[in-house]
Structure 1
């Protein structure tokens, strides 16, 4: 599926990680140059290979954060019918939230976040509101400051709950489990849950199964959602809350 032109500003996921890759590539290129200058061919070739490898990882990371994840989520959200109530956990600048809102002509999308820039560059509520306005969906979007471990919503409040690379930012395993349990609590019976992450997805699946969710599966999101390579691939936990 082609992703429509985006009008908002969505920053970079974990910008320190991308900066680290680029810095590493520069250092390795400098070492390769020095080695070749000193006529140390094996070391120069090794450093050059390392630099090219690191640059390839940086290119993969940059592609995912600027385009790839949008393409994957556009396909995932293609199943929306247009009248759902959707919640985005850790919505950040609105990459997934606003993609969803564009499809909810008769529905509504809510995003909850603690607005920390270490997780995404320039991550704050005014930026997300500006992005919603730029995408023309402000009237369908609600932004809430809140903790994923204690969501400020009632039971069964949403038809769809999504999250993209947010739950892993909770440091403690017990906290991540609470976040998944909260996501399950606010999802209506029969509702859809989609959690994309590159860490802890087996634990998310296990928690949902403990909660009695039978219709749950964990799958690879594909190369468009690699943060540097297949060793940092993203998986999607997809689940349907049992109908009451």
Structure 2
């Protein structure tokens, strides 16, 4: 029996903090009720419930919610199967491999990452390769260790560029802007860009507009993509590179 793909947990330290904080506040609330201090107990009870609910939402998003959202987003694109796809900050490959599963023939999906484990548990190139084998798409997947601010690809190399909760990990604002410019640079004429992130989405859209992108829009991805609550909701930034989508369609991405 083939092993199942394992995509890990996003920001495991944050999830653990929410869960442990909720448990601690609920336990302390019980103690305070027991010794006859109902007012602070109620405050802690409410806080504990909020943290526990946040942990549950976070766990749902990282384990199931974001997967369903990305399935819907990729289905909406109507890929033909021969596209060249790039995933920026691919991590253990959830979005990358979903895209690869929609490809055939000359289609290939390339993932770029620095493989940092604080952003995703067990993040490594080997883990992504194992997931690609488990999903049966290893023959159409390429993995590259690289910085999204300086992509090792030619201009106009990809039909579709995607990224899920990765660009915000760049601390400097100008660095994030440079990553967005690079994503647009490697798009073919008529190519599509989809960046899902829970911070800075409006700024990404501004940068893309400055680059000359068409059909730039930002839209909310709903509660399935909340990391603990509506304060950490995820938005999608979408655009298209102007031009004929068949221009240079046969070009292969440079490794």
TM-score range, shorter chain: over 0.9
Report the CA distance between 1:37 and its aligned residue: 1.4
Partner of 1:74: 71
Residue 159 of structure 2: SS of its match in structure 1?
strand
How many aligned positions are there?
239
Question: Could you say which residue in structure 1 is the equivalent of 2:253?
Answer: none
Shift of 1:47: 1.1
Deviates more, 1:46-55 or 1:121-130: 46-55
Alignment of 1:49-88 (within 5 A): 49-78=46-75, 79=77, 80-88=79-87
Give CA-to-partner distance per residue, 1:128-167, whole Å, 9 cap, x none: 0000000000001000000000000000000000000000
Q: Which residue in 2 is equivalent to 1:104? A: 103
- Whole-angstrom CA distance in 1 between matches of 2:208 and 2:45: 46
Return the alpha-carbon distance in structure 2 between the equivalents of residues 45 and 177 of structure 1: 45
| SS at structure 2 position matched to 1:215 | strand
How much has 1:82 moved relative to structure 2? 1.3
* 2:6 corresponding residue in structure 1: 9
1:159-218 Cα offsets, whole Å, 9 max, x none, are 000000000000000100110000001010110000000001111000000011131100
Residue 31 (structure 1) aligns with: 28
Whole-Å separation in 1 of the counterparts to 2:110 and 2:124: 15
Tell me, in whole angstroms, the C-alpha distance in 1 between the residues paired with 2:238 and 2:124. Answer: 28
**Separation in structure 1 between the aligned mates of residue 150 and residue 81 of structure 2, nearest angstrom:** 27
Q: Please, what is the CA RMSD of the aligned residues? A: 1.1
Q: Distance in 1 between matches of 2:214 and 2:162?
A: 18
CA displacement at 1:26 relative to structure 2: 1.6
How much has 1:7 moved relative to structure 2?
2.6
TM norm structure 2: 0.92
Rounded to whole Å, the distance in 2 between the matches of 1:61 and 1:20 is 11
| CA distance, structure 1, for counterparts of residue 177 and residue 203 of structure 2 | 8
Q: Which runs of 5+ in 1 are unaligned?
A: 1-5
Following the alignment from structure 1 to structure 2, what is the Cα–Cα distance between the partners of residues 229 and 213?
31
Once superposed, which parts of structure 1, at least 4 consecutive aligned residues long, lie more than 2 Å away?
none
